[in-house]
């Protein structure tokens, strides 16, 4: 019965026993549970990339707070960064965003 249910309700690549993949998805969704982080992802999706100074201005949050949110998103694998001079520039990891999108797709 469980095998039949798994064949009917689970998409390819997300078998019921794939605990590692589900844990990774959960970590990414958890990182998006904070409104400021959703705003950061939205900003990066629309602009392509942004430096910390731009995000501080847009979010109207202190630089240490923005840096904390960026660290959480980076550890979840949703964003990546590159140093240019004294500033860090952030951009989305397209594959990670696509995986989240696929998780929610029917």
Query: For residue 61, what pLDDT is reported?
Result: 95
pLDDT value at position 12?
55
Weakest-pLDDT range from 8-12, 14-18, 45-49:
8-12
As to burial, measured by CB atoms within 10 angstroms (0-12 exposed, 13-18 middle, 19+ buried), residue 32 is: middle
What pLDDT score was predicted for residue 42? 95
Judged against a pLDDT cut of 50, whether residue 56 lies above it is answered with: yes
Distance separating alpha carbons of residues 89 and 74, to the nearest angstrom: 12
Asked whether the whole model's pTM tops 0.95, one would answer no
Kind and range of the H or E run holding 94: helix 94-104
| 28 C-beta neighbours (distance < 10 Å), count | 19
- Position 2 scores a pLDDT of 45
Which among 33, 103, 102 is positioned nearest to 73, based on CA atoms?
A: 33
Q: Which domains does the chain have, with CATH numbers?
A: 18-104 (1.10.10.10)
Q: How many CB atoms lie under 10 A from the CB of residue 89?
A: 16
Average pLDDT, the chain: 84
């Amino acid at each position: 019965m469980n095998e039949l249910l798994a064949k009917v309700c689970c998409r390819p690549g997300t078998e019921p026993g794939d605990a590692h993949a589900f844990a990774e998805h959960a970590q990414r969704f958890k990182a998006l549970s904070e409104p400021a982080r959703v705003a950061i992802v939205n900003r990066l999706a629309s602009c392509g990339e942004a430096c910390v100074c731009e995000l501080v201005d847009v979010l109207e949050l202190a630089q240490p707070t923005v840096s904390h949110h960026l660290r959480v998103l980076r550890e979840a694998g949703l964003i990546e960064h590159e140093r240019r001079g004294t500033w860090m520039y952030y951009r989305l990891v397209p594959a990670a965003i696509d995986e989240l999108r696929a998780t929610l797709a029917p």
